[in-house]
């Protein structure tokens, strides 16, 4: 009886120990799946070599040491595991991986070829052989090995990954992309492959696909920084500045002293006119780095661009105490003064900016505008001319140049500039209006008439906004009709003009005279009397009434 009890006790201890060891093995596997290799090692290292669980612990220990780069320890466990059964595929794969990581290529080949003699179609051994070929710079042989693995198991992700890497080395990026796409199709959780694919898309200038893939990586990966930076750089390279500024904003808030990324962010903010975002980032940085020049500079620029002009002056004063102002600083400082209607100070700062960098195309309109407000028409026109010579699509520069030339009575120069602007913006009402006026001053009646008619046609739905231009158009067309003694047309244009400005003495008088010419005497009398109510001493109206009294 005592012997039976003793035997049962031994069995109890055995199964208890077995159960405890099995629990550690299961926990270690979970840790390795979570990439917590060091915790797995701590758990497994306590299993003695004479323990029944030691055989199962060996490959896990080998893999854990391999993951943390302790290759000597990994090799020792892998060899021990391989020594238990040299035909074990898992043992062959683990040992070959560890040996390959140490560039022990001949021995790796030896072990794999020995294993493939026994397991000729084993896809895992073929994949490992492919990676060994790549390590040995035998790319074509690698493609053969990976292709065989894919043929034997079309759903084996690592076969496609290996082919992707091999074709990349051959610079056959289009084929590499196809293989990575297949791999991700089989396992959409592999954000490392998505990152590789994103880089390839970017290299092939497939920017939209690259951006989509980077976004997926950011969403999946716990380390979002690298993918976010690459996505931001991609958007910047593709000149999608709004997206670049948005993606890079969080990074520069945390790393405001990064000399590579900060210029990309600052330029993206300006090019996309994302000044509210730029200001928010600058304010966030200044809370922890109150005197960081680049943050003060960004805040000053954004305040200026957002018309927070007084605030911009304060930040530029602070910036000036930290470092000398540059061409861009003086430009935005000038714009702040211009917004505050301090033209002398605006001009002074614009000129400082221009002296430091005369190639700033966007500065030309600023200089032109401030000279224009000071009625320095010749100087203003020179800067507007510089602008459209540097940028032939700058419609406003052509228009403002033409207005300056109008003031200088250079009608032909004005005409040429307006014609050029209207070729690019045929619906631009002020352009047609000023061209009509220019033709009028050039005594080109038919051309002026045509342009005024265009103004009337275009104004249609914006009568209130362009009331003055529309009035002038009807006035000129009335003059032309009166000159031609086309009384009916003249009356039509005069009536439409008076609908816009009913108490304009000149136009009421013209209506009276036109009605008089049409022999509509009573209507003419009423209009003459109306003129005298508006202008009691109007001699033309008094003369008209006297003539009517003769009948």
DSSP 464-497: TTTHHHHHHHHHHHHHHHHHTT-HHHHHHHHHHH
Distance, in Å, from the CA atom of 390 to the CA atom of 362, rounded to the nearest integer, reads 10
pLDDT at 18: 43
Residue 11 has pLDDT above 60, yes or no: no
35 by DSSP, 3-state: which? coil
Q: What is the pLDDT of residue 2?
A: 47
pLDDT at 15 exceeding the cut of 60: no
Q: What is the pLDDT of residue 42?
A: 84
How high is the pLDDT of residue 16? Answer: 40
Given a contact cutoff of 8 angstroms between Cβ atoms, the answer to whether 88 and 125 are in contact is no
- Give the ranges where 442-466 is alpha helix by DSSP (H): 445-459
Rounded mean pLDDT of 520-537?
94
Average pLDDT (86-97) is: 91
Predicted confidence (pLDDT) per residue in 413-431, tens digit? 999 999 999 999 999 999 9
Q: Is the pLDDT of residue 6 over 70?
A: no
Q: What's the pLDDT at 462?
A: 77
Residue 20's pLDDT band (boundaries 50, 70, 90)?
Answer: very low
Task: Let me know the angle formed at the C-alpha of 16 by 15 and 20, rounded to the nearest 5 degrees.
Answer: 115
Counts for the chain of helices (H) and strands (E), in that order: 31, 0
User: Where residue 21 falls among pLDDT bands split at 50, 70, 90?
Assistant: low
Beta strands in 134-222 (DSSP E): none
For residue 7, the tally of other CB atoms under 10 A from its CB is: 10
Q: Which tokens sit at 204? A: 């092939």
**Helix, strand and coil percent figures for the chain, each rounded to 5:** 80, 0, 20
Q: Is residue 4 scored above 80 in pLDDT? A: no
- Cα gap 104→101, rounded to integer Å: 8
9 pLDDT tier (thresholds 50, 70, 90):
very low
Give CA–CA dist 149/406, Å, rounded.
Answer: 79
436-457 exposure pattern, b = at least 16 Cβ within 10 A, e = fewer: bbbbbeeebeebbbebbebbbe
- Crossing angle, helix 539-549 and helix 505-517, to 10 degrees? 20
Percent of the chain at pLDDT exceeding 90: 75
Mean pLDDT of the 359-365 span: 95
Q: Across the chain, what does the average pLDDT equal? A: 90
| 331, 299 contact by CB (below 8 A) | no
- Reported as a single tens digit per residue, the pLDDT across 177-195 is 999 999 999 999 898 899 8
Inter-helix orientation angle 89-101/105-118, to 10° = 160
Question: Rounded CA gap, 91 and 114, in Å?
Answer: 12
Residue 275: band (very low, low, confident or very high) from pLDDT cuts 50, 70, 90: very high
Given a cut of 70, is residue 19 above it in pLDDT? no
pTM of the model: 0.68
Query: What is the distance, to the nearest Å, from the Cα of residue 139 to the centroid of all Cα atoms in its chain?
Result: 39
Contacts of 154 (CB under 8 A, 6+ apart): none
pLDDT for the residue numbered 529: 94
Segment 244-261 shows an average pLDDT of: 92
Structure confidence by residue, pLDDT tens digits, 492-512? 999 999 999 999 999 999 999
Question: Does position 391 have pLDDT exceeding 80, yes or no?
Answer: yes
Question: Which pLDDT tens digit goes with each residue over 199-243?
Answer: 999 899 898 898 898 888 888 877 778 888 888 998 998 899 999
User: pLDDT for 282-302, tens place per residue?
Assistant: 999 999 999 999 999 999 999
Q: Helices 539-549 & 521-534, crossing angle to 10 degrees?
A: 150
| CA pair distance 34, 11, nearest whole angstrom | 35
Q: Are 48 and 68 spatial neighbours (Cβ–Cβ below 8 Å)?
A: no
**pLDDT band at 528; cut points 50, 70, 90:** very high
The answer to whether 371 and 356 are in contact (CB under 8 A) is no
**What is the pLDDT confidence band of residue 486, given thresholds at 50, 70 and 90?**
very high
**How does 320-354 read in b/e, with b if 16+ C-beta sit within 10 Å?**
eeeeebebbbbbbbbbbbbeeebbebbbbbbebbb
What is the C-alpha separation between 514 and 507, in angstroms, rounded?
10
Q: Is the pLDDT score of 160 beyond 70?
A: yes
Q: Write the CA distances from 359 to 267, 301, 324, 341, 384, integer angstroms.
A: 17, 19, 20, 25, 14
Q: What is the mean pLDDT of residues 538-544?
A: 93
Q: For residue range 109-145, list pLDDT tens digits in order.
A: 999 999 999 999 999 999 999 999 999 999 999 999 9
Q: Give residue 105's Cα distance to chain centre.
A: 47
């Amino acid at each position: 009886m005592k012997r039976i009890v003793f035997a049962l006790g031994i069995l109890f201890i055995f199964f208890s120990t077995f159960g405890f060891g099995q629990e550690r093995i299961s926990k270690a596997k979970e840790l390795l799946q979570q990439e917590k290799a060091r915790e797995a090692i701590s758990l497994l290292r306590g299993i003695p070599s004479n323990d029944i669980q030691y055989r199962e612990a060996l490959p896990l220990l080998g893999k854990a040491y391999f993951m943390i780069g302790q290759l000597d320890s990994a090799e020792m466990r892998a060899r021990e595991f391989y020594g238990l059964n040299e035909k074990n595929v898992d043992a062959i794969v683990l040992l070959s991986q560890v040996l390959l990581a140490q560039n022990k290529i001949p021995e790796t080949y030896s072990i794999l070829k020995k294993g493939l003699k026994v397991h000729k179609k084993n896809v895992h051994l073929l994949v490992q052989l492919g990676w060994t070929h790549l390590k040995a710079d035998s790319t074509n042989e690698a493609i053969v090995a990976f292709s065989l693995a894919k043929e034997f198991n079309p759903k084996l992700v690592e076969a496609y990954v290996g082919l992707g890497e091999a074709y990349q080395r051959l610079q056959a990026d289009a084929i590499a992309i196809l293989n990575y796409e297949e791999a991700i199709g089989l396992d959409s959780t592999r954000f490392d492959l998505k990152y590789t694919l994103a880089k390839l898309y970017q290299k092939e200038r497939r920017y939209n696909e690259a951006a989509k893939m980077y976004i997926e990586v950011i969403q999946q990966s716990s380390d979002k920084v690298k993918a976010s930076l690459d996505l931001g750089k991609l958007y910047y390279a593709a000149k999608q500045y709004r997206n670049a500024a948005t993606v890079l904003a969080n990074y520069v808030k945390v790393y405001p002293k990064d000399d590579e990324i900060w210029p990309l962010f600052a330029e993206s903010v300006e090019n996309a006119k994302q000044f509210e975002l730029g200001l928010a980032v600058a304010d966030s940085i200044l809370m922890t780095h109150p005197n960081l020049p680049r943050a003060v500079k960004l805040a000053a620029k954004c305040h200026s661009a957002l018309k927070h002009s007084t605030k911009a002056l304060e930040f530029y004063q602070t910036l000036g105490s930290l470092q000398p102002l540059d061409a861009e600083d003086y430009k935005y400082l000038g714009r702040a003064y211009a917004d505050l209607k301090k033209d002398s100070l605006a001009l002074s700062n614009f000129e400082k900016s221009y002296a430091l960098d005369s190639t700033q195309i966007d500065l030309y309109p600023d200089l032109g505008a401030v000279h224009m407000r000071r009625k320095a028409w010749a100087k203003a026109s020179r800067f507007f001319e510089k602008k459209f010579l540097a940028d032939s699509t700058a419609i406003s520069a052509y228009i403002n140049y033409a207005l300056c030339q109008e003031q200088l009575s250079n009608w032909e120069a004005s005409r040429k500039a307006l014609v050029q602007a209207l070729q690019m913006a045929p619906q631009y009402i002020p352009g047609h209006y000023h061209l009509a006026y220019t033709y009028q001053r050039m005594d080109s009646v038919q051309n002026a008439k045509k342009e005024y008619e265009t103004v009337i046609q275009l104004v249609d739905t914006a009568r209130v906004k362009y009331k003055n231009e529309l009035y002038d158009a009807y006035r000129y067309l009335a003059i032309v009709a009166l000159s031609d003694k086309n009384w009916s047309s003249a009356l039509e244009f005069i009536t439409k003009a008076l609908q816009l400005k009913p108490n304009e003495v000149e136009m009421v008088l013209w209506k009276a005279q036109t009605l008089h010419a049409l022999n509509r005497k009573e209507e003419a009398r009423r209009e003459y009397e109306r003129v005298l109510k508006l202008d009691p001493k109007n001699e033309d109206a008094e003369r008209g009434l006297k003539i009517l009294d003769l009948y």
